[in-house]
Amino acid sequence: MENQNAYQKPVTLRNVLKFAVPTIAMTVFMSFYTMVDGLFVSNLIGTNALSAINLTAPVIQLVTAVSTMLATGGSAVIMKKMGEGKSEEAKEDFTSLILVNVLVGALMCFLGYMTMGHFFAGMNLSADVERYCVEYLSCYLLFTIPILLMNNFTLYMIASEKAALSLACSVTGGVLNMALDYGFIAGFGMGINGAAIATGLGYSVTAVVGLAVFCRKKNLLHFKKPVFRFKVLVDAATNGCSEMATALVTGIITMMFNWTMLHYVGENGVAAVTIIMYVLMFASSLYTGYSYGVAPMLSFYHGEQNFEKLKKLVGISMRVIAVISGIMAAASFGLTRPLVSVFARSDNPVYALAVSGNRICTIALLFIGFNIFASGMFTALSNGIVSAILAFSRSFVFMLITMIVFPMLLGVNGIWLATPAAELMALALSAFMFLKYRKRLGY
């Protein structure tokens, strides 16, 4: 079939990058959604509002966690079936999983409105910061269903060989977000509410286009009468649980960072953490984009038992990630001051905190890419348990240990060192699992 030609081509660096580069660009633009919010909010409203965006992150990560689980896990299950020649069954499952996303999104929106007031009231925040938190999240939750659909359609477009369209949607959404951020905040004076609405509308671009694309029957994947198979939902949840764990514990660790910074420095520390997270998020988006891009290929070759192509793909991926890691670490360290100055002026106490913190956290960029790829690879190969172990250990267990121990020994510098130390520990575990399952999975 013509739609499957990309999977039949030889596995070379050029062909792999053709598949992955649009996805990398797409995830970079997706990371801009949050960064642009921070840029406009910090400069047009103030660093208190910037702190509020970070303080809402755990709730937002919960939404992201569920959609990521259904998207990555579902894509792996469905593309494996495509590789096995069960295309009609795969389309039925695809439609069912999209409907599940809609129902889950409605439930999460309802629960968010019911609980957010109690969540922020217990954090001992200043009146301004607490008000900003409630205002931002109230508007953001309106877009829960489009956000879930966006995350799913992004991966399914890639799997359907429409990575270029997915990229176009992300670019359009990113540009729309930037324009609306400025218009809503500076033009209409909507404050932090405008930032949340701009982000939601930016996300909605992919959701709307995806609905139109997957209604067309000529696509490799398209909507058809759904057949609900409980096992498919379980398999999708199992395969995607590592990515869900990563997003969930990212929210938990964000809360720990915030609480620790509030203890040592105050709300200026939370703003500094937010700036550094933007830098790490941008770098991570490159690794995540590459992993998303090659995941359908890994799943397809796994489904058709083509171990030769699987080995070549994994080998090329390791080299690509190594190159990206070196470039990003050097760029982050060398451009620390210009990066931080975008969000805070040099006379702001947040600036000095963020500069010193970013230079320490940059070490983590040497390890993050390999850890993200390892977890994504095991998900694509339908080994969700190993993927979950890697993701949970990296994002929670190791971070929990370092976040408790390092600040006690080194103070604020210990907070910044916690991330590189946790990523290095995770790298050791990823290498162990990679070698342990190499023969069994054929890569």
* pLDDT (tens digit per residue) in 259-300: 888 788 877 888 888 888 888 888 888 998 899 889 888 988
- What is the percentage of the chain residues whose pLDDT exceeds 70? 97
Q: Is the pTM of this model over 0.75?
A: no
Confidence of residue 33 (pLDDT cuts 50, 70, 90): low
- pLDDT at 242 (0 to 100): 66
* pLDDT (tens digit per residue) in 34-62: 677 778 888 888 878 888 887 887 788 78
3-state secondary structure of 45: coil
Residues 349-367, mean pLDDT to the nearest whole number: 92
- pLDDT at 1 (0 to 100): 37
Place of tokens 């080998």: 315
Least confident of 92-101, 162-171, 236-245, 334-343: 236-245
3-state secondary structure of 228: coil
- pLDDT at 2 (0 to 100): 39
Q: How far apart are CA 409 and CA 263, in angstroms?
A: 15
CB-based contacts of 409, cutoff 8 Å, min separation 6: none
Length of the chain: 443
Torsion of CA 50, 39, 209, 293, to 10 degrees: -100
Round the CA-based radius of gyration of the chain to a whole number and report it. Answer: 21
- pLDDT at 51 (0 to 100): 81
Evaluate if residue 3 carries a pLDDT over 70.
no
8 CA to centre of own chain:
29
Evaluate if residue 30 carries a pLDDT over 80.
no
* pLDDT (tens digit per residue) in 168-213: 898 898 889 889 989 999 889 999 999 999 989 998 999 999 999 9
HSE-up of 128 (CA within 13 Å, CB side)?
9
3-state secondary structure of 37: helix
Confidence of residue 357 (pLDDT cuts 50, 70, 90): very high
- pLDDT at 149 (0 to 100): 94
Tokens found for residue 193: 């509410």
Q: How far apart are CA 296 and CA 291, in angstroms?
A: 9
3-state secondary structure of 306: coil
Look up residue 219 and give its DSSP letter.
S
